[in-house]
Chains A and B, each alone.
Chain A
Amino acid sequence: MSDFTSNFWSVYVAALTLIGIFACLILLWVTARKKVASSADNTTGHVWDEDLREMNNPMPRWWMWLFVLTIVFSLGYLAAYPGLGSYAGQLGWSTQGEYTLEVAKATRELEPLYARFTAMKPEDAAGQPEAMAIGERLFMNNCAQCHGSDARGSKGFPNLADGDWLHGWGEAAIVAMINQGKVNQMPAQADKLTEAQIHLLTAYVWGLSNKADAVK
């Protein structure tokens, strides 16, 4: 709601929500107290189309308590989570925070997996099927958009699989290129990928031009 200059809409939404909940509560209270007429034969006493009679089949009372429960839940929810206009909720939960947590958790879980390969030189890691599978997935997510899913590039995007090294040869050159990118040509990846991920990407890219030693 940060797009708005005043908090009118926030108050408007919050008020509508609370009025709605309150109206439900009043409706429940009224219907719980209301009495209706019922005939001795358990019909409502109404007759339609000459002989259609309506049976009186009331709801069980515990059902009403379920409704009350939903109201209690909604109030608790609105207090804890964002929902009332721009009020953020007592727990401070947000989708962005949730995403950050999930990424941090995934990174923690993947670290021991990566650790096995970060100790290896890229040319050794390129001989490990698992390392190459990780490298391939990283490549697909971060590099294939320009360099192509087979890493053979296209016009303006260098072919990484042909053994021609346009910007220096070997591990250091690959790592430097991924980290810093090239002005006006390739975005730097240092902030987007972890060191371990860049190491595995390097192994994968190294393996592309040295297929004989690398696992396919």
Chain B
Amino acid sequence: MGSPLKPSPAPVRKVIPIAPVPVDETMVSLYEAQKKIYPRSVSGLFARWRWGLVFATQLVFYGLPWLEWGQRQAVLFDLGARRFYIFGLVLYPQDFIYLTALLVISALSLFLFTAVAGRLWCGFACPQTVYTEIFLWIECRIEGDRTARMRLDGAPMSLEKLVKKWFKHLVWLGLALWTGFSFVGYFSPIRDLGLAFLQTRMGSWEVFWVAFYGLATYGNAGFLREQVCKYMCPYARFQSAMFDRDTLIVTYDQARGEPRGARSRKAALQALELGACVDCTLCVQVCPTGIDIRNGLQYECISCGACADVCDTVMDKMSYPRGLIRFSTQNGVAARWTQSQMLRRVLRPRVLIYSAVLLALCLGLMLSLVLRTPLKVDVVRDRAALSRIVEGGQLENVYRLQVMNATESPQRYRIMAQGLPGLVLASDEFVSVEAAQSRWVAVRLHLPYGAATAGSHPIHFEIQAVDADATVSEKSVFLVPR
């Protein structure tokens, strides 16, 4: 103790100066004027996949509220009554854990898909992409493809331009409001909502949410489009952080493509001293985020594969092999791997771990849903009196039981109390609860005076459905006064 510390030699620090690199500089504003993007329409394998997913997701979204299940809407989230119906399931707010599980599963699926195939979600399934795709299709039908749209926007106002623009916005708004209507239809029975709309007696909140969701769709898919992905979306940024060199991305095969340049279709490739890229810029014209994929992987790329589709058509015309722009991995492109070599790298630790956790969670959720008891009970001790003495020298404790019937038929339940010798139920043994309703009942328990020592004794209630197979056990205590 107390010995002086030897002065340690000063650490050798390498000072790396922050040096401005002298290059030709221009002065720019901190904010940039947005350039409007006119994506060219495209067809091909990935476009077909994208449209397939547009139909799959939107059939579910627009169609699900119209499905009936018995006497009610199959999927209905009744916020007012706090009941959530999903086909045969009747969920209470107490079942919130299932939503948590669903969200965790969604997040893990995103991790898994991102690790394997990059921003698949962004390019194919994200509502932002899907609605942009639909709105672009409408725009293309009314105003024409890329060049026609650019010409129309550049032209002075004319009757034709006015009619086209108005028509487009009307169709957009109609679709957007229908989207808002479908959304509200998940929370307020959609058939009644439609009837209320026709009779102009929709509630003010219903009108608000239809308009809000509708106008948000209109603004996002009609105007903001790629800017949502570029400036607002947090997923876009953290998905990029989950990439590694074996993640599938849209790649430009630089070694094969460069040096790029225009050439005659008849010229033989070997004689030209040019790569396979004919520099037609179609890959830039189709890009919904307006980037040039030939500059390599960029954070704006949503992996939609439009450039890969259009490049393949060009390669076909030039009779070059396809795949100058293709889904591949960084390692795959660098080492010129075959597809099976890349596939083998899919089974790497992070993918296996994500898959194992995801599978375990999915199984857990399914098991817990299958084994779920359609009955819930909450026990609350009465707050007025801890314990009291009643006729016959009995000690009485009062409880309030909330009995929640999670089935769609009226049920009768039998209440039993156990845990202390001599404990008997003094109130009604049977309680009836309407379908999908809950009910508070006051329950009195009696214990002969002197049957137990003074203090708190653990007991439990057992509630059993009379005509169904459902039993719930809930803990509580019986208090004996001193």
Contacts and interface: CB of A to CB of B under 8 A. Distances in A.
B24 interface: yes
Interface string B362-406: 000000000000000000001111001010000010101000000
A32 interface: yes
B444 A35 contact: no
A62 interface: yes
Interface string B23-53: 1111111111110000000000000000000
A49 B17 CA distance: 8
A59 interface: yes
A37 to B, nearest CB: 4
A146 B27 contact: no
Interface in B11-31: 16, 18-21, 23-31
Contacts of A53: 21
Contacts of A145: 383-384
B231 A63 contact: yes
A151 to B, nearest CB: 8
Given A50-B16, A149-B442, A58 B26 contact: no
Contacts of A37: 25-28
A152 B32 CA distance: 74
B428 interface: yes
Nearest to B31: A61
Contact of B24 (A35, A40, A63, A140): A40
B231 A38 contact: no
Interface stretch (A18-26, A113-121, A153-161): A153-161
B29 A34 contact: yes
A36 B384 contact: no
B152 to A, nearest CB: 22
A183 B88 CA distance: 56
Contact of A38 (B25, B385, B388): B25
A154 B28 contact: no
Nearest to B380: A149
Nearest to B24: A40
A24 to B, nearest CB: 15
A165 to B, nearest CB: 18
Contacts of A152: 388, 390, 396, 398, 444
B456 interface: no
A96 B427 CA distance: 42
B453 interface: no
A48 B17 CA distance: 7
A36 B385 contact: no
Contact of A45 (B20, B31, B32): B20
Given A144-B384, A148-B398, A39 B444 contact: no
Nearest to A65: B31
B66 to A, nearest CB: 31
Interface string B181-221: 00000000000000000000000000000000000000000
A154 B224 CA distance: 66
Contacts of B106: none
A39 B24 CA distance: 6
Contacts of B382: 144, 148-150
Given A45-B20, A48-B16, A153 B385 contact: yes
B23 A58 contact: no
Contact of B33 (A39, A61, A146): A61
A46 B28 contact: no
B473 interface: no
Given A40-B26, A150-B442, A216-B428, A59 B385 contact: no
A139 B147 CA distance: 73
A60 B32 CA distance: 5
A91 interface: no
Contact of B30 (A41, A58, A146, A157): A58
A39 B442 CA distance: 77
Nearest to B223: A62
Nearest to B26: A38
Contact of B384 (A48, A147, A216): A147
Nearest to B17: A47
A64 interface: yes
Nearest to B35: A60
Contacts of A31: 30-31
B227 interface: yes
Nearest to B27: A35
A70 interface: no
B32 A148 contact: no
B31 A40 contact: no
A155 B18 CA distance: 81
Contacts of B29: 32, 34-36, 58, 61
A144 B382 CA distance: 9
A48 B18 contact: yes
Interface in A194-216: 216
Given A32-B30, A61-B33, 7 more contacts: A32-B29, A37-B26, A53-B21, A61-B34, A149-B384, A153-B385, A157-B384
Interface of A: 31-32, 34-41, 45-50, 53, 56, 58-64, 140, 144-150, 152-155, 157, 216
18 contacts: A31-B31, A32-B31, A34-B29, A37-B28, A38-B25, A39-B23, A39-B24, A47-B20, A47-B21, A59-B30, A61-B31, A62-B34, A146-B384, A147-B384, A149-B383, A154-B384, A155-B388, A157-B385
